[in-house]
Amino acid sequence: MPFLNFPPSSLFLLFTLSFFHFFAVGLFSNVDYDILIRVKNTHLDDPDGALKDWVPNQAHTPCSWTGITCDSTNLSVLAINLTTSNIAGGFPYDFCRIPTLRNLSITVTNINGTLLSPSFSLCSHLQLLNLSSNLLVGRLPEFSPLFTQLQILDLSSNNFTGDVPLSFGQLPALRVLRLTMNLLDGPVPSVLGNLSQLTEMAIAYNPFKPSPLPSEYGNLLKLENMFISTANLTGPIPGSIGKLAMLTNLDLTFNSISGPLPDSIGGLRSIKSIQLYNNRISGELPESIGNWTSLSRLDLSQNSLTGKLPDKFAAIPLEILHLNDNFLQGEFPESLASSPHLTDLKLFNNSFSGTLPQNLGLNSPFTEIDFSSNHFEGNIPKFLCQQNRLQKFILFSNSFSGNFPESYGACDSLVYVRVEDNQLSGEVPDSFWKLPKLNSIQMSDNQFQGSIPPAISLARDLQVLLISGNNFSGQLPAEICKLKELVRFDIGRNKFTGGVPSCITELQKLQKLDMQENQFAGEIPKLVQFWKELTELNLSHNQFTGKIPPQLGDLPVLTYLDLSSNLLSGEIPEELTKLKPDQFNLSNNKLTGKVPSGLVNEQFVGSLLGNPGLCSSDLKPLNRCSKPKPSSFYVVVILSVLAFVLIGSLIWVIKFKMNLLGKSKSPWTATKFQRVGFDEEDVIPHLTKGNIIGSGGSGTVFKVNLKTGQTVAAKSLWRGHNQSDIESVFQSEVETLGRIRHANIVKLIFSCSNGEGSRILVYEYMENGSLGDVLHENKSEALSDWSKRLNIAMGAAQGLAYLHHDCVPPIIHRDVKSNNILLDAEFCPRVADFGLAKTLERQTEGNDAGVMSRIAGSYGYIAPEYGYTMKVTEKSDVYSFGVVLMELVTGKRPNDPSFGENKDIVKWVTEAALSEVEEKGLSLDEIIDEKLDPRTCEVEEIAKILDVAVLCTSALPIDRPSMRKVVEMIRDTKLPPSKS
Ligand SMILES: *[C@@H]1O[C@H](CO)[C@@H](O)[C@H](O)[C@H]1NC(C)=O
Ligand SMILES: *[C@@H]1O[C@H](CO)[C@@H](O)[C@H](O)[C@H]1NC(C)=O
């Protein structure tokens, strides 16, 4: 027995040692154990029982508890790591009383309050402190000189405010500092330049006071990651940046950095990713970029760079190169075509010219290329899909010529192809049309020829097929009907012949179908009722025969129907009376019979002319409907009357012509956006004081009763204002409103301008004025019925969804507010005032949203990110729309004084909505507009609308739903009609 061989003394020693060991472990773990239990019971609120295993145990050790890590030898607590739970309460300083604690991490919980207690220094022995994604507020804590161990500090995604304290620069061991997504509003902290051990600095997404990138950061010789996006950086990048030889990632996007890149920036010897997009960097790219021998991603898009691309690019092992939206010019450097790793190349919206190297793609595994909106010419290179990975192939708006290379017919990976607006010709390879992943083909306005092959049915995911303005010919194959996902189909202005396959009505997702200016013949397909989503149907200028299918009048969202200049016959179906005057055109056909009474209105005349067989007793230029045959006496009388009328009209015509000649001196330039029977001479005399019905930021609005009997609203833009502002408002309205049609968007009918700076816009007249006026100017009894308000919410949402999702390019309104939502006689809403609207140039590039030069929008409706990023996305409109929803429910203005200081409608409603859940504070009843008739109020509906409103006004744009989603959510709130 070996045991017995131990001398008694060593046996004793062994015994004593293990006793002490047991005692020591018991003692320490007891302390930790007590602290943890005490903090749990007295400091933390744990409604979901995240810490339910933190309960006394026999061994008195916390080492098996959730989130606890112990030292394996002496069982002392080394780390506390609590994450993603509903744990709430102030920061539990007492955890730091555990002397062995190194890492304290409590993230994505509801820890609230400040870190300003003196007890914070209890934590000075920590190596890691991570409190990210909590509800902490107030100033950042001070770090006393005792914090010598701290290596990682993460306070991101809280609501810390104010300056970064100087003591942050005195953390000698700090390697990682993350303060992103707070509300820090002092200057960008130069003191961080003292953190000599720092490898990561992440202070992005804070509303810092505009300040330059501190040159002190050049001292951070160990820095690997610098992340300062969206932080109000201004001025040039300091030359000292070149000292950061270890830097691998640099992200300074969405700031206002200006000036040229310093030549020293070539000193970033380890750099792998540089992202500087969305700034104001100017000048030429320095030659020193050739030193970036590890760089794989370079994004300098949306700046003001000029000059040519240096040949040096060839030396950089780039995978991603984005230089779009600059002022770069010159030829594409031949050397760049040899890049062996380049997958994503975006050069759009510059002034590049010349031909592309014909071997481009031979060496590079491209997935995306976008050269659109430049001045490139010559042939499209053959090899862009050589490695069969190309998905996005975007070359539109250049001067490329020659054929669409045969090689792309084998490019199975293609999803999105845009080559419109070039001078391409010849046939498109047959095999191209059937590529299985194609989603969008846009080839309009070239000189392509040939036909669409039946095999196109294999491109099953195709949603967009736009090939108008070419020389395509032949019949439209019936296989087109298998493209069930098709949303937009435009083959107008080609040479197609034959009949349209009747199965085309099975394309139930179609929104726009344009086939005008071809040689289609035969009848219009009958079963159009399947086109539930169709908003636009243009079959004009073809040779369609037969009758107009009556079901066209029943299509629920059809807002434009053009059947003009065909050979259609028979009577006009009564059903078409459901369409509005500027929404259809039947002129120049062979229609006969009596015009349905619903269309007997002068406004419709322009859409009916050129059908000699049509008659109406009341519509002037049309034939009167048949009456008893005149006797010979009457014939004589009528003939003489006719002669009289003829002479009379001759005189009138001559007068009119002379008048016109006289008018040609008129300084006005006018545009008619629909067929109207008036011009500027009829409008301008009515722009008098007595006719003023409103005035807004940009001009005065007049009600004008025209001679034609029509009433319109005319807006005269302020003169004497900054003329370039007026011009940009005028252009915005004309360019956006002039080209869109939607039932919930106000219609621009006419515009005119003169050399003296007058700018006049004429719209359809809206009987009930603006939603803002009705709600807030003591007219709200008109909207005492909740369902009316809900309809307004729905209609306005649909209008905005149309702008964001159906317009190409999408339009951002930028000034959504109740005063810009007009109401017609039936209180149907129309979104109006497009003076600040912007089109987003690209529809597919989610990131490339516009940067605006000045803040647009109205106080109380402006999304929070707007104030400091100047970045505008559709989501800013969503925020403003959320405010309008809140107005509809509460009847209050966005800045009603009753909300109290520092509060607006968003805070007020959000608090009420939250307290409703928690059943304390304001209740829902207290915020609902008292002018709403309670008998019409479905409280459940109202609560759901408020939820939508709160979601729309989320602080972070990413949390807000799209307008399309908003429409769905509003639709879902509608309860089935109650029986009572
Ligand atoms: C944090 O700030 C955001 C944006 O200002 C605000 O919506 C949110 O309520 C704030 N949270 C706390 C806990 O203060
Ligand atoms: C209707 O179509 C004809 C011919 O296509 C065109 O000249 C006329 O301007 C159109 N009318 C309206 C009201 O758009």
Query: In this predicted model, which residue has the larger pLDDT, 225 or 856?
Result: 225
How far is ligand 2, taken at its centre, from the CA of residue 519, in Å? 18
Same fold, 139-209 and 500-625: yes
Give the per-residue SS3 of 138-166: EECCCCCCCCCCCCEEECCCCEEEECCCH
pLDDT of residue 647: 53
Instruction: Give the Å distances, CA to CA, from 156 to 177, 353, 863.
Output: 9, 45, 21
CB 68 within 8 A of CB 95: no
pLDDT of residue 701: 84
pLDDT of residue 930: 86
Whether the per-residue pLDDT at 238 is higher than 80: the answer is yes
Query: Is 715 flagged in the annotation as binding?
Result: yes
Angle 790-792-794 from CA coordinates, rounded to 5°:
70
Ligand lying nearest the CA atom of residue 602:
2
pLDDT of residue 172: 97
Does 647 sit in the ligand 1 pocket, CB within 6 Å? no
Does 753 sit in the ligand 2 pocket, CB within 6 Å? no
pLDDT of residue 23: 42
Query: In this predicted model, which residue has the larger pLDDT, 598 or 655?
Result: 598
Q: What is the mean pLDDT of the chain?
A: 86
Query: In this predicted model, which residue has the larger pLDDT, 22 or 891?
Result: 891
Instruction: For residue 227, give the nearest of 197, 249, 209 by alpha carbon.
Output: 249
pLDDT of residue 721: 53
Atom of ligand 2 lying closest to residue 582 CA: 13
Q: What class is the 500-625 domain?
A: alpha beta
Query: How far is residue 743's CA from residue 300's CA, in Å, rounded to a whole number?
Result: 41
Whether the per-residue pLDDT at 636 is higher than 50: the answer is no
pLDDT of residue 18: 41
Considering only 203-212, 471-480, 715-724, 959-968, which range has the smallest mean pLDDT? 715-724
pLDDT of residue 507: 95
b/e sequence 485-499, b meaning 16+ C-beta within 10 Å? ebbbbbbbbbebbee
Q: Report the first-to-last Cα separation within the chain, whole angstroms.
A: 94
* Ligand 2 atom 7, closest CA: 587
| pLDDT (tens digit per residue) in 623-632 | 888 754 444 5
* Percent of all residues in the chain with a pLDDT value above 90, rounded to a whole number: 59
Whether the per-residue pLDDT at 642 is higher than 80: the answer is no
Helix (H, G, I), strand (E, B) or coil at 514: strand
* Ligand 1 atom 12, closest CA: 135
Domain 771-973: assigned CATH number: 1.10.510.10
Best residue among 538, 544, 587 to mutate for probing ligand 2's pocket (most ligand atoms within 8 Å of CB) is: 587
Give the per-residue SS3 of 81-131: EEECCCCEEECCHHHHHCCCCCEEEEECCEEEECCCCHHHHHHHHCCEEEC
* Ligand 1 atom 9, closest CA: 907
pLDDT of residue 840: 63
Query: How far is residue 653's CA from residue 631's CA, in Å, rounded to a whole number?
Result: 31
Q: What is the CATH architecture assignment of 636-764?
A: 2-Layer Sandwich (3.30)
Does 607 sit in the ligand 2 pocket, CB within 6 Å? yes
Q: Which distant-in-sequence residues (6+ apart) come within 8 Å of 689 by Cβ?
A: none
pLDDT of residue 585: 92
> Domain map of the chain by residue range?
2-104, 139-209, 214-306, 500-625, 636-764, 771-973
pLDDT of residue 5: 41
Considering only 49-53, 197-201, 681-685, which range has the smallest mean pLDDT? 681-685
CB 754 within 8 A of CB 669: yes
pLDDT of residue 182: 96
Could you confirm whether 815 is annotated as catalytic? Answer: yes
- Where does residue 286 rank: exposed (0-12), middle (13-18), buried (19+ CB within 10 A)? middle
| pLDDT (tens digit per residue) in 169-183 | 999 999 999 999 999
How far is ligand 2, taken at its centre, from the CA of residue 606, in Å? 7
Ligand lying nearest the CA atom of residue 161:
1
Ligand lying nearest the CA atom of residue 112:
1
| pLDDT (tens digit per residue) in 126-144 | 999 999 999 999 999 999 9
Query: How far is residue 378's CA from residue 398's CA, in Å, rounded to a whole number?
Result: 10
* Ligand 2 atom 9, closest CA: 675
Segment 586-596 shows an average pLDDT of: 94
Query: In this predicted model, which residue has the larger pLDDT, 815 or 519?
Result: 519
| pLDDT (tens digit per residue) in 440-462 | 999 999 999 999 999 999 999 99
Segment 195-217 shows an average pLDDT of: 97
Query: In this predicted model, which residue has the larger pLDDT, 869 or 818?
Result: 818
Whether the per-residue pLDDT at 688 is higher than 60: the answer is yes
139-209 has CATH 3.40.50.720 classification: no
Instruction: For residue 262, give the nearest of 290, 280, 294, 236 by alpha carbon.
Output: 236
Considering only 474-488, 677-691, 946-960, which range has the smallest mean pLDDT? 677-691
| pLDDT (tens digit per residue) in 898-923 | 887 667 888 888 887 777 655 555 67
CB 146 within 8 A of CB 121: yes
Whether the per-residue pLDDT at 696 is higher than 50: the answer is yes
pLDDT-based confidence at residue 654 (cuts at 50, 70, 90)? very low
pLDDT of residue 4: 37
Q: What is the CATH architecture assignment of 214-306?
A: Alpha-Beta Horseshoe (3.80)
| pLDDT (tens digit per residue) in 312-344 | 887 899 999 999 999 999 999 998 999 999 999
Tokens 């004589």 appear where?
A: 636
Segment 242-265 shows an average pLDDT of: 96
pLDDT-based confidence at residue 356 (cuts at 50, 70, 90)? very high
Write out the DSSP string of 717-770: EPSSS-HHHHHHHHHHIIIIITT---TTBPPEEEEEE-TTS-EEEEEE--TT-B
Instruction: For residue 930, give the nearest of 784, 779, 777, 773 by alpha carbon.
Output: 784
Write out the DSSP string of 573-593: PGGGGGS-GGGEE--SSEEEE
Ramachandran sector of residue 315 (left: φ over 0; alpha: ψ -120 to 50; beta: rest): alpha
Best residue among 516, 560, 563, 564 to mutate for probing ligand 2's pocket (most ligand atoms within 8 Å of CB) is: 564
Q: Annotated catalytic residue: which of 46, 682, 815, 848?
A: 815
Instruction: For residue 708, give the nearest of 820, 604, 629 by alpha carbon.
Output: 604
pLDDT of residue 618: 81
Whether the per-residue pLDDT at 941 is higher than 90: the answer is no
Q: Which two tokens stand for residue 563?
A: 């059947």
Segment 40-57 shows an average pLDDT of: 93
Whether the per-residue pLDDT at 97 is higher than 50: the answer is yes
* Ligand 1 atom 5, closest CA: 955
Does 770 sit in the ligand 2 pocket, CB within 6 Å? no
* Percent of all residues in the chain with a pLDDT value above 70, rounded to a whole number: 87
Instruction: Give the Å distances, CA to CA, from 222 to 245, 246, 427, 760, 812.
Output: 8, 6, 58, 61, 43
pLDDT-based confidence at residue 843 (cuts at 50, 70, 90)? very low
pLDDT of residue 921: 59
